[in-house]
Amino acid sequence: MRETDPMPEYDDLGLPDTDLALSATRFARDAEHPAVFNHSVRTYLYGRFLGEHRGLRPGHDYDDELLYLGCVLHDAGLSHAGDREQPFHVDGADLAAEFLSGQGLSDDRVEVVWDAVALHLNPEVACRKRPEIALVSAGAGIDLGPLGPGGPALPEEYVARVHAALPRLHTAAVLYDEIVGQALAKPHKAPPFSFPGELLRQHTGKPWPTWRELMTAEPTWNDYEGYPPAG
């Protein structure tokens, strides 16, 4: 074990131990709520499990360090440093890219992590991308709820071991409060019909505007002027 290893208690989980992975771990751990950090590391473990289920081998079919970096930084936008002016997943992608560029990671590798973080809320898009991107979204999703029909079940003994090392600490509730808290302070971070916007709508009870209301708000192109009503 290295002297710089910030998580010796997790050694048996097989996390990447490159210098960059350890630096990213320290960065995320220090910046995020403990529940968000634990969720981020579990995202890697479960994403790796899903990759194995699909026959993907780390070091052969995907870059394990890049997968870990995308996972451990995927909710960096929910940290104080990541709370900027875009939806949290975009702010988080920007913060992750800044951190990794500062660590000397090449631009092409930084771009993979940026995409993984920015797309993790869009599994229907992420699943079409390279494994280092797809497995971040998949791992985060399975940590918050079961997959749809046909998805593999996580082995109970494995889940128990992961939760013992990385307790949930009310993960779903904390994520909700972090996202909604940002949105209440900066509503432009939660635009209508987005994931943050939906959580804000649930919190406030305020209804969405209709499509026509959005399209006829000032300033308008008058696209509905003279248009026959549907019927």
Structure tokens at 15: 């996390």
Is 220 a member of any domain?
no
Are 4 and 133 in contact, with CB atoms under 8 Å apart? no
Res. 1: pLDDT tops 80 = no
Per-residue model confidence as pLDDT tens digits over 94-110: 999 999 999 999 999 99
Domains held by the chain: number: 1
CA 207 to CA 17: how far, in whole Å?
47
Are 126 and 134 in contact, with CB atoms under 8 Å apart? yes
Per-residue model confidence as pLDDT tens digits over 33-86: 999 999 999 999 999 999 999 999 999 999 999 999 999 999 999 999 999 999
| Pick from 209, 4, 200, 24: nearest CA to 99 | 24
Are 197 and 184 in contact, with CB atoms under 8 Å apart? no
Per-residue model confidence as pLDDT tens digits over 158-216: 999 999 999 999 999 999 999 999 999 999 999 999 999 999 999 999 999 999 999 99
**79: CATH:** 1.10.3210.10
Is 190 a member of any domain?
no
Per-residue model confidence as pLDDT tens digits over 131-160: 999 999 999 999 998 655 557 889 999 999
pLDDT mean over 7-13: 76
Q: Quick check: pTM over 0.85?
A: yes
Is 219 a member of any domain?
no
Is 56 a member of any domain?
yes
Work out the burial of residue 87: count CB atoms within 10 Å of its CB; fewer than 13 is exposed, 13-18 middle, 19 or more buried. buried
Q: Which domain holds residue 44?
A: 8-170
Is 181 a member of any domain?
no
Is 183 a member of any domain?
no
Is 203 a member of any domain?
no
CA 78 to CA 91: how far, in whole Å?
9
